[in-house]
Amino acid sequence: MSEFRMPSLGADMESGTLVEWNIRPGDRVERGQIVCVVETQKGAIDVEIWEGGTVERLVVEEGQQVPVGEVLAVIRAEGEKAEGEDAAPETAPAGRPTPTTSPTPAPRAPERAATPAATAAGERLRLSPAARKRAGELGVDPATVTGSGPGGTISLADIEKAAETAPEAPAEPRLARPAAGHDAHAAMRQAIAAAMARSKREIPHYYLGHTLSVEPALAWLAACNAERSVAERLIFPVLQLRAVAMALQEVPALNGWFVDGAFRPAEGVHLGVATALRGGGLVAPALHDADRLDPDAMMAALRDLLTRARKDRLRSSELTDAGLTVTNLGDLGVDSVQGVIYPPQVALVGFGRIAERPWVRDGQVVAARCLQVSLAADHRVTDGAIGARFLTRLTDLLTEPDRLWPP
């Protein structure tokens, strides 16, 4: 049996509300399938499952708010017997299935891989839905409660007793849980505030910048788009993202997460695309495998991602997989960006606007459309020399666009 748990969908997510199940007991599920919708501070998220099998049972009901790491459903792997049946010894699985065949076996939740809010490994909390609901109301973490019922079952009374004896202030200030009927915008603001405050508190940022002429890249794009219908056109960010992805392949030290005092490299190049939402707020979902997409596939993936980001239906993997985030504020008219790294990532690339500037070419000052690109990086993980190598490579690629998708 494997346990499908409430995923951590961001550095500061503490809990989520299960809004809707897409599966029922007895259903077969496949790796990557969207099995439920969870409401978070970043809106409603389609949550994927990473172990296939058959749904044994659903543990959490629709409408319940549960902490990160809490078991949502129990999944029976291929060949396993249902609960209550005797598993034949030869078919008993040796430990948990390990998803090593994934094309993107990046840790799904680098920040909360150990699910600190959950119980000891493999142990499951025993508590009734009523007790769980009361725990949510009282702000009690059931994992910290000792059950007095049979087999350590936590009763309603246990929860209420725990609430009375709970220390006034938790060791770490907790994010206030969104109250019923909470303002989604305020909740997102709070999530951003927590993540950015943590970034500035913990990450020693260093900043590097380049200015480049994008005349060659714009000519490349214009030639490409001249042959296309409006709907098939590429936009400049496709080139930017491609250049970042290729530069990251060469400088992987900027692609990953700083977790438990050490750098954990990402497997695969998944770029967070910082996306402002109308009405306020920001999400930075991952564009998966940005180093493997041809121009049209990249545009299609970007279109899909941005459309869903703005309609509030991102997937859980998109909130957890990015190894570096790219932000483009050029359309808002700014010249340059000094970005704040999204923890636990270790770098952020910022693009400003494309504007005509005096530019020296062959000893002559000419008017050229230019762009400023910046890198904010975590000095605990890399030094300026590595950042400079990355940024130089990125600049070279955008300056010589024929190298972006070599034949």
Task: Show Cβ contacts of residue 243 under 8 Å, excluding neighbours closer than 6 positions.
Answer: 394, 397, 398, 404
Between residues 175 and 334, which has the closer beta carbon with respect to another protein?
Answer: 334
Shortest spacing between CB 272 and another protein, in angstroms: 16
Q: Which of 266, 212, 156, 233 minimizes the C-alpha distance to 374? A: 212
- Least spacing, CB of residue 294 vs another protein, in Å: 18
Q: How far is the CB of 314 from another protein (least distance, A)?
A: 16
Shortest distance, CB of residue 27 to another protein, whole angstroms?
A: 36
If DSSP codes are grouped into helix, strand and coil, which group holds residue 209?
strand
Q: How far is the CB of 215 from another protein (least distance, A)?
A: 15
Chain residues binding another protein by CB under 8 A are 221-222, 225-226, 229-231, 233, 235-237, 276, 278-279, 302-303, 306, 328, 331-333
Helix (H) or strand (E) holding 236: helix 236-250
Distance CA 100, CA 122 (A): 20
Comparing CB distances to another protein, the nearer of 329 and 388 is 329
The helix or strand, by DSSP H or E, that contains position 195, with its residue range, turns out to be helix 184-202
Alpha-carbon gap, residue 246 to 299, rounded angstroms? 16
| Cα separation, 193 vs 183, whole angstroms | 15
Q: Spell out the residues 6+ positions from residue 21 whose beta carbon is closer than 8 angstroms to its own.
A: 35, 36, 58, 62
Nearest CB to another protein, comparing residues 332 and 365: 332
DSSP summary character for residue 179: P
Question: CB-wise, 156 or 276, nearer to another protein?
Answer: 276
Running DSSP on this structure, what letter comes out for residue 96? S
In angstroms, what is the minimal distance from the CB of 262 to another protein? 36
Minimum Å gap between C-beta 219 and another protein is: 11
- Measured CA to CA, the distance from residue 263 to residue 257 in angstroms comes to 6
- Cα angle 250, 98, 79 (rounded to 5 degrees) comes to 145
Distance of alpha carbon 158 from alpha carbon 142, whole angstroms: 9
Q: Which is nearer to another protein, 222 or 365 (CB)?
A: 222
Q: Smaller CB distance to another protein: residue 237 or 323?
A: 237
Torsion-angle region of 242 (φ positive above 0: left; ψ -120 to 50: alpha; else: beta): alpha
Closer to another protein by Cβ: residue 114 or 367: 367
Q: In the bound complex, what is the minimum distance in angstroms from residue 331's beta carbon to another protein?
A: 4
Helix (H, G, I), strand (E, B) or coil at 344: coil
* Cβ-based nearer residue to another protein, 82 or 219: 219
Q: Which helix (H) or strand (E) holds 377?
A: strand 364-378
